[in-house]
Amino acid sequence: MNAARRFLRSFQPLFSAALFLLLLYTMLRLLFWWYNRTLFPGIRFSEAGAIFFRGVQQDLVTIILSNAPVLLLCLIASYTKVLSARTRPHRPAHTGSTILYRIAFWVFIMANAAGIAFNLLDTGYFRFNHHRSSRDLLYVFKDSLGSFKSLLAGYWFLLLLFIGGVLILTRIARYLFAAGSSSSASVDPASPLRRSKIPGLLLRHLLLLLLLVGIVGALPGTFVLPSTPLLSVEPGHLPLAQNSAFTFSYSLIRRQQEMKPAAYFPAEELARITSTTHTMGKNTDTLQKKNVVICILESFSRSYLLPGDKARAITPFFDSLIGKSIFFPHSVANGFQSNEGIVSILGGLPPFLDEPFFYSLYANTPLKSIGNILKENGYNTNFFMGAGKDHFGFGKFAKMAGIDHYFSREDFNDDRYYDGNWGIFDEPFLQFGAGVLAAKQTPFLAVFFTISSHPPYTIPPQYRDRFDIPGKTAPQRSISYVDYSFQRFFASCSKMPWFRNTLFVFCADHWLDPYEGRTVINPVNSSAIPIFIYDPSRDSGTVSDPLASQVDLTPTILGLLHYKGSYTGFGRDLLDTARSSGITGNAPGEHYALNRIGEVYQVITGDMVLGYDRSQEKSRYLYRYSGLNITSENLIGDSAYKDSRDRMERWVKASIQAYYQGMTRRSLE
584 band by pLDDT with thresholds 50, 70 and 90: very low
Domain count, the chain: 2
Say whether both 17 and 99 belong to one domain. Answer: yes
* Residue 609 belongs to some domain of the structure: no
What pLDDT is recorded for position 72? Answer: 77
8 band by pLDDT with thresholds 50, 70 and 90: very low
What pLDDT is recorded for position 71? Answer: 76
The parent domain of residue 8 ranges over 2-253
Say whether both 375 and 428 belong to one domain. Answer: yes
Name the residue with higher pLDDT: 146 or 602: 602
Say whether both 309 and 362 belong to one domain. Answer: yes
Quick check: 294 pLDDT over 80? yes
Residue that finishes a domain, picked among 553, 570, 588: 588
How many CA atoms does the CB half-sphere of 538 hold within 13 Å? 16
To the nearest whole percent, how much of the chain has pLDDT over 90?
47
Using alpha carbons, list the distances in angstroms from residue 448 to 377, 402, 559, 573. Answer: 21, 15, 21, 22
Lowest mean pLDDT among 71-80, 474-483, 484-493: 71-80
Residue 137 backbone dihedrals phi, psi, to 5 degrees: -60, -30
* Residue 650 belongs to some domain of the structure: no
What pLDDT is recorded for position 9? Answer: 54
Quick check: 517 pLDDT over 90? no
549 neighbors 334 (Cβ within 8 angstroms):
yes
- Which residues, other chains included, contact 502 with Cβ-Cβ below 8 Å and sequence gap of 6+? 290, 291, 292, 293, 493, 535, 536
* Residue 628 belongs to some domain of the structure: no
Name the residue with higher pLDDT: 200 or 558: 558
Interatomic CA distance for residues 80 and 428, integer angstroms: 67
Say whether both 439 and 580 belong to one domain. Answer: yes
Name the residue with higher pLDDT: 114 or 18: 114
Quick check: 137 pLDDT over 90? no
What pLDDT is recorded for position 580? Answer: 43
Helix-, strand-, coil-residue percentages of the chain, each rounded to 5: 50, 10, 40
What pLDDT is recorded for position 188? Answer: 37
Burial class, 626, CB count within 10 angstroms (exposed 0-12 / middle 13-18 / buried 19+): exposed
620 neighbors 627 (Cβ within 8 angstroms):
no
* Residue 616 belongs to some domain of the structure: no
Q: Find the mean pLDDT for residues 9-28.
A: 77
Residue that finishes a domain, picked among 588, 610, 628: 588
Interatomic CA distance for residues 94 and 85, integer angstroms: 8
Say whether both 202 and 305 belong to one domain. Answer: no
Helix/strand/coil for 295? strand
- 15-19: long-range pairs with CB below 8 Å, 24+: 16/175, 16/176, 17/172, 17/173, 17/175, 17/176, 18/63
312 band by pLDDT with thresholds 50, 70 and 90: very high
Q: Find the mean pLDDT for residues 97-113.
A: 83
Interatomic CA distance for residues 464 and 325, integer angstroms: 30
215 band by pLDDT with thresholds 50, 70 and 90: low
Quick check: 45 pLDDT over 70? yes
7 band by pLDDT with thresholds 50, 70 and 90: very low
DSSP letters, 310-373, are TT----HHHHHHHHTEEEESSEE-S-SSHHHHHHHHHH-----SSS-GGGSTTTTS---SHHHH
| Per-residue pLDDT tens digits for 266-287 | 999 998 899 888 888 877 778 9
Name the residue with higher pLDDT: 61 or 385: 385
Lowest mean pLDDT among 120-129, 288-297, 470-479: 120-129
What pLDDT is recorded for position 223? Answer: 63
| Per-residue pLDDT tens digits for 375-431 | 999 999 999 999 988 888 888 889 889 999 999 999 999 999 999 889 999 999 999
Nearest Cα residue to 347 out of 296, 391, 398: 398
What pLDDT is recorded for position 16? Answer: 74
Interatomic CA distance for residues 105 and 263, integer angstroms: 49
What pLDDT is recorded for position 11? Answer: 54
Sign of the C-alpha dihedral computed for residues 30, 32, 36 and 41 taken in this order: negative
To the nearest whole percent, how much of the chain has pLDDT over 70?
82
* Residue 595 belongs to some domain of the structure: no
Could you count the other beta carbons within 10 Å of the beta carbon of residue 203? 12
Using alpha carbons, list the distances in angstroms from residue 177 to 171, 173, 197, 305. Answer: 10, 6, 22, 59
| Per-residue pLDDT tens digits for 340-379 | 999 999 999 999 988 888 877 787 788 888 999 999 999 9
Residue 537: give its domain's CATH number: 3.40.720.10
Name the residue with higher pLDDT: 615 or 605: 605
Say whether both 56 and 130 belong to one domain. Answer: yes
Nearest Cα residue to 226 out of 242, 210, 203: 242
662 neighbors 276 (Cβ within 8 angstroms):
yes
What global pTM score does this model have? 0.77
* Residue 522 belongs to some domain of the structure: yes
What pLDDT is recorded for position 60? Answer: 86
∠ Cα 170 175 176 (to 5°)? 95
Cis peptide before 443 (omega within 30 of 0): yes
Kindly report the three-state secondary structure assignment for every residue of 585-649. Answer: CCCCCCCCEEEEECCEEEEECCCEEEEEECCCCEEEEEEEEECCEECCCCCCCCHHHHHHHHHHH
Say whether both 236 and 377 belong to one domain. Answer: no
Residue that finishes a domain, picked among 545, 567, 588: 588
Pairing of strands 531-534, 291-297: unpaired
What pLDDT is recorded for position 310? Answer: 85
Interatomic CA distance for residues 528 and 628, integer angstroms: 8
Lowest mean pLDDT among 26-30, 71-75, 623-627: 71-75
| Per-residue pLDDT tens digits for 641-667 | 999 999 999 999 999 999 999 888 877
Cis peptide before 223 (omega within 30 of 0): yes
What pLDDT is recorded for position 10? Answer: 52
Quick check: 218 pLDDT over 80? no
588 band by pLDDT with thresholds 50, 70 and 90: very low
Pairing of strands 291-297, 444-449: parallel
* Residue 173 belongs to some domain of the structure: yes
DSSP letters, 12-41, are HHHHHHHHHHHHHHHHHHHHHHHHTGGGS-
90 band by pLDDT with thresholds 50, 70 and 90: low
Using alpha carbons, list the distances in angstroms from residue 51 to 25, 249, 261. Answer: 13, 21, 31
Say whether both 79 and 210 belong to one domain. Answer: yes
Quick check: 244 pLDDT over 60? yes
Quick check: 180 pLDDT over 50? no
Indicate the length of the chain as a whole number. 669
326 neighbors 530 (Cβ within 8 angstroms):
no
| Per-residue pLDDT tens digits for 419-464 | 988 999 999 999 999 999 999 999 999 999 999 999 889 999 999 9
Say whether both 348 and 224 belong to one domain. Answer: no
Residue 241 backbone dihedrals phi, psi, to 5 degrees: -95, -5
* Residue 647 belongs to some domain of the structure: no
Say whether both 189 and 305 belong to one domain. Answer: no
Say whether both 236 and 350 belong to one domain. Answer: no
Say whether both 169 and 298 belong to one domain. Answer: no
What pLDDT is recorded for position 209? Answer: 56
